[in-house]
Amino acid sequence: MTGVAGFMEQRLPVVPGRGAATDPPNRFERLHVEMDPPAGPEGEGPGPVTEFLLDRPRRIVARNESPDVGFERSVNPYRGCEHGCIYCYARPTHEYLGLSSGLDFERRIFARPDAPILLRRELADPSWTPKTVVLSGVTDPYQPGEARLRITRGCLEVLAEARNPVAVVTKNHLVTRDTDLLLELAGHGAAAVTLSITSLRRDLQKTLEPRTASPKARLKAVETLAEAGIPVGVNVAPVIPGLTDEELPAILAAAASAGATAAGYILLRLPHAVAPLFSRWLSDHVPDRAEKVMNRIRACRSGRLNDPRFGSRMKGQGIFAEQVEALFRVESRRLGLEGARRPLSTQAFRRPTPPPSDPDRNAPQLDLFSSNGRE
């Protein structure tokens, strides 16, 4: 058993194909048990497998009241994310399940196969007012398991039938699989896709975001969607001061060249256990920059590693945050990526056919299974 300090002092081996190297303590649990390292020295051994677990919520549309995220309603087909982005702000949500923000978050994935039926039920209800639904707002709707589970596609099929507007945010080229549904919605002004790109450096991306699509593949997805006629933008997220901020102009230029018509950015934030996880990652992978990066983050967060306040948590404060904002504005204006994207239309909305009354009987079943490789 150990605490956060003990976790920070450990020098366990890097886990191949994973962002985190271990499981830090859960802030809601009084006890923490240290398991044996999931892989041997120098990355020997198979590493931890991915487990998909069944999650059946009673409702699937989440309501958001945060004033700085840009949407009010979202659908999350998965809890946890196999992409393993070490900086992911959603990692602490696994602690509400009694699990860890570390390896648990990226290898114990809760899938929601009932999501399309639950979404249909909400859209068919007379009380539903058509409004943009974001896929997914917390974890990536196109993480590797989606290739065979197809829960996100099922949700898009419902949204396309209802012609309810949808905004998709992802780091995965897999989104191009659903070009047909997105194009159908785009024909009604009711679809937009944003590809999130953190770095153009493949060597950095492979450890920073180990199971995401490569930067080249994400830019190819931008190109594919744009050529199909689907509005597509790029979010430089997160911008990591002292590590990836210098790439901002190059990312925006590559995105514009691929056909993106809008861009945004988010400054890195490190809530709860994400801070020690990220600090450990810096020490393992870019030790020469570790101290500089952590100091820059503090300079952007009023001396702390995280600032949860609305209005500042996405962009930060101070001279370095101001430099990032100024650079983004200049480059996005030069490349024609400046300005807010046109709001998605609800004019074509039509209420879908209600689902069967017993979703537990009619919903598709999800077998529990494990996967050690990429989907």
Please, what's the largest Cα pairwise distance for the chain? 59
- Quick check: 88 and 81 in contact, CB under 8 A? yes
- CATH number for the domain that contains residue 62: 3.80.30.30
Given the DSSP bridges, would you call strands 191-196 and 232-239 parallel, antiparallel or unpaired? parallel
- Quick check: 30 and 15 in contact, CB under 8 A? no
Is the confidence at residue 96, as pLDDT, over 80? Answer: yes
Is the confidence at residue 5, as pLDDT, over 90? Answer: no
Residue 238: asked if its preceding bond is cis (omega within 30°), the reply is yes
| Model pLDDT, residue 43 | 45
Count of the separate structural domains present in the chain? 1
| Model pLDDT, residue 26 | 77
| Domain assignment present for 214 | yes
Round to the nearest angstrom and report the end-to-end CA distance of the chain: 34
| Domain assignment present for 342 | no
* Closest listed residue to residue 221, CA positions, set 169, 158, 269, 172: 172
For 143-159, the pLDDT digits (tens) are 999 999 999 999 999 99
| Domain assignment present for 356 | no
Q: Which two tokens stand for residue 344?
A: 């998605």
| Domain assignment present for 126 | yes
Q: Which two tokens stand for residue 16?
A: 């191949």
| Model pLDDT, residue 29 | 67
Q: If you average pLDDT over residues 59-68, what whole number do you get?
A: 85
Range of 73's domain? 4-337
| Model pLDDT, residue 45 | 47
Q: Which two tokens stand for residue 134?
A: 């974001």
Q: If you average pLDDT over residues 241-261, what whole number do you get?
A: 97
Give the number of other Cβ atoms within 10 Å of residue 324's Cβ: 20
| Domain assignment present for 362 | no
Give the number of other Cβ atoms within 10 Å of residue 45's Cβ: 14
| Domain assignment present for 350 | no
Partner residues linked to 196 by β-bridges = 235
Given the DSSP bridges, would you call strands 369-371 and 262-267 parallel, antiparallel or unpaired? unpaired
For 278-322, the pLDDT digits (tens) are 999 999 999 999 999 999 999 999 899 988 877 777 889 999 999
What is d(CA 180, CA 185) in angstroms, rounded to the nearest whole number?
Answer: 9
Is the confidence at residue 241, as pLDDT, over 90? Answer: yes
User: H helices of the chain, where?
Assistant: 4-9, 103-107, 115-124, 146-149, 151-162, 179-186, 202-208, 215-228, 248-258, 274-285, 290-300, 319-334, 359-362
DSSP 8-class letter at 3? -
Q: Is 35 exposed, middle or buried (0-12, 13-18, 19+ CB in 10 A)?
A: exposed
| Domain assignment present for 360 | no
* Closest listed residue to residue 277, CA positions, set 292, 289, 294, 260: 294
- Quick check: 304 and 298 in contact, CB under 8 A? yes
| Domain assignment present for 367 | no
